[in-house]
Amino acid sequence: MSIATAVGAHAEVQAIGVRRFDAVTIALHWTTVALIVGMFATGWSMGLATDHDQEETLLYVHRSLGVLTWITALARITWRFGFAFLPPFPSAMPKIQQHAAHLSEYALYAILLIQPLTGVAQSLTRGRPFPVLAWQAPAVMSRSKALTHLFHDIHEITAWVLLGLIGLHVAAALFHRFVVKDEVFGSMTPWKPRRRLAP
Per-residue pLDDT tens listing for the chain (199 residues)? 443 444 344 444 444 456 799 999 999 999 999 999 999 999 999 999 999 999 999 999 999 999 999 999 999 999 999 999 999 998 889 999 999 999 999 999 999 999 999 999 999 999 999 999 999 999 999 999 999 999 999 999 999 999 999 999 999 999 999 999 888 888 999 888 765 544 4
Q: 29-33: which pairs have CB atoms within 8 A and are 24 or more residues apart?
A: 29/76, 29/188, 30/190, 31/72, 32/69, 32/72, 32/73, 32/76, 32/112
pLDDT at 194: 66
pTM: 0.86
Find the helix packing angle between 95-124 and 52-82, rounded to 10°. Answer: 140
The pLDDT value given to residue 17 = 53
Structural domains of the chain in order of their starting residue, each with its CATH number: 3-187 (1.20.950.20)
**Beta strands per DSSP E along 25-180:** 130-132, 135-137
89: nearest Cα among 81, 77, 99, 79: 99
d(C-alpha 151, C-alpha 145), whole Å:
10
Nearest to 113 by CA among 52, 158, 80, 79: 158
Specify whether the CB–CB gap between 196 and 186 falls below 8 A: no
| pLDDT value, residue 97 | 92
* pLDDT given at position 183: 85
pLDDT at 191: 85
Whether 63 contacts 124, CB under 8 Å: no
Give the end-to-end CA distance of the chain in Å, rounded to a whole number.
33
Q: Return the SS3 of 132.
A: strand
Rounded Cα distance between 126 and 147, Å, is 9
Stated as kind and residue range, the H or E segment containing 113 is: helix 95-124
pLDDT given for residue 182 in this prediction: 87
pLDDT, residue 163, reads 97
